[in-house]
Structures are given as structure tokens and as C-alpha cells.
With several copies, the nearest count.
Chain A
Amino acid sequence: MNIKVLYFARIKEAVNYSTENVELPKDVLTVIALKNWLSLRGEVWANLFNGKQVVRAAINHVLVDDMAAIQAGDEVAFFPPVTGG
């Protein structure tokens, strides 16, 4: 399925772009599976998702945990813990 992935703040700087459309293999159905799949892309991605820093996720603008299911057409965002206010 096809989804849109967004990156923000320190994570956007690490991957060096803010948005991409990706075609996922059939077995990538959750946020954690997506993290795993992205981490196979190379060092930048492996470093991002190696668990040393918290990477939060939102699906369609709602905060979710890594067990959340992804559906075709979803907008999935990755970002560091928020620091507004």
C-alpha cells in the first residue's frame, strides 16, 4: 500500500527531507513495522530508529504508539518529543 511519511525537527534534519510517498510491502502494517522497514534503508535510518532516542509517531494527525495499525492512504509522521509552549 501507498502512504505518505512526514518528518519534523531534528528527524527532518537527519533524513534531510520532510515528506515522501512510500509503497510498503504487504507485511508492513504497523508503526513499528514501518520503523523496522525504514531502518533497513541505511545508516541514517538505522540510527534514527535504533531506540536510543524517542521517536514519536502520529497517524493522520493523531498521536499513536508504535503498535498502531497503518492503512493505505495514511499520513504517518515521525518527530521527536514535542517542546512547544
Chain B
Amino acid sequence: MTVRIQTEDFDLGHELTSMRLAEHAKNKSTKKESIGALVSFIGQVRDMNDGNAINTLTLEHYPEMTQKALAAIESEASARWDIIDSLIIHRVGTLNPLDQIVLVAVSSAHRGEAFSACEFIMDYLKTSAPFWKKEATNQGERWIEAKQSDDVAKARWQNKVKN
């Protein structure tokens, strides 16, 4: 389980391929099942939002808390589902339209576990990890409002038993 908070961009192909192949050696000695599935989510800066062209998106965070909050989400996912590994990379600072913001990737033996765990991590990240977005458009700057739909997405998991 890995969490990285960084200003610099990340190489998507490299990250996913490393993850896909990395547990190979470890598997042979300690794990019964090898990776068959890798599910990933990539979030990027939209070029348009609510009808306005986005110039930049700035991500503020609470450094001492962020790492801890994301690691706790990964632990919870790993307790709920039979996954092999998980990775969260989240960027902070000022980004441009179409820049990558976040990568969440989960590997598992079978696809169902990886799909559920990856979506779970995203839903919790959206509602529990201390990041705040500020958009700059030609009409000025504005803090992005939290979405009710994100609370709803998170609440779904609270009624589910481990599958």
C-alpha cells in the first residue's frame, strides 16, 4: 500500500506497469494468488466547468493529515476486500487543464475485488482526505464546493457488508 502526495506529474504507464509486475517476486514466497486484475482511476483537470473555461486549478492540502488519511482509507479497503496492493498518487499545487490530478490503482487476483476497492478508495478520498480545490477562470477565482453526490457515494459503502 503506497501513498504519494506530490506537485510533479506522474507517468501513468510506468506506475501501472510497475504495480502490475511488482508483486511477482513477493508472490512466489508469501502470497497464494498472483495478480490477475488491475483497476485504476485517473482524475484530471477539466477544461470546462459550469460553462466557464478553466485557466488553472490549485490544490491546497493539510500535509500532516493527508498522508495519514489516505493510508487509513487504503487500510480500510484492504480490510474489506481481498486485494493484493493499492496505490494512491495525488498532486497538489497549481495545475493546468487536462493535467492529471489523482491516480488510484488496485491489484487483485480477480476483478470484482479490485473494482470495488478502487471505487471505495475514490469515494472516501473525495469526502475524507484534506484537499481543497480552487479554480481560476476569466471570471476570477473560486473555491470548488463539495458535492452532495460525493456524500451519497460514500454512504453506499457504509451499508454494505464485506463481499
Contacts and interface: CB of A to CB of B under 8 A. Distances in A.
Given A9-B143, A61-B68, A80-B143, A85 B102 contact: yes
A50 to B, nearest CB: 18
B102 A77 contact: no
Nearest to B122: A85
A83 B133 contact: yes
Interface string B118-150: 000010011111111110000000011111000
Contacts of A8: 60, 62, 130, 132
How extensive is the interface on chain A, given as a class?
10 to 19
Contacts of B145: 83
B129 A84 contact: yes
A10 B56 CA distance: 17
B4 interface: no
B20 interface: no
A85 B114 CA distance: 15
Interface in A1-20: 6, 8-10
Interface string A69-85: 00000010101111111
**Counting chain A CB atoms within 10 Å of each CB, which of B130, B143, B146 scores highest?**
B130
B129 A82 contact: yes
A82 B65 contact: no
Contact of A84 (B111, B133, B143): B133
Nearest to A85: B126
A8 to B, nearest CB: 6
**Counting chain B CB atoms within 10 Å of each CB, which of A6, A58, A79, A85 scores highest?**
A85
B58 to A, nearest CB: 10
Contacts of B111: 85
B112 interface: no
Contact of A82 (B43, B64, B102, B130): B130
Interface of A: 6, 8-10, 54, 58, 61-63, 75, 77, 79-85
Interface of B: 43, 59-62, 64-65, 68-69, 90, 101-102, 111, 122, 125-134, 143-147
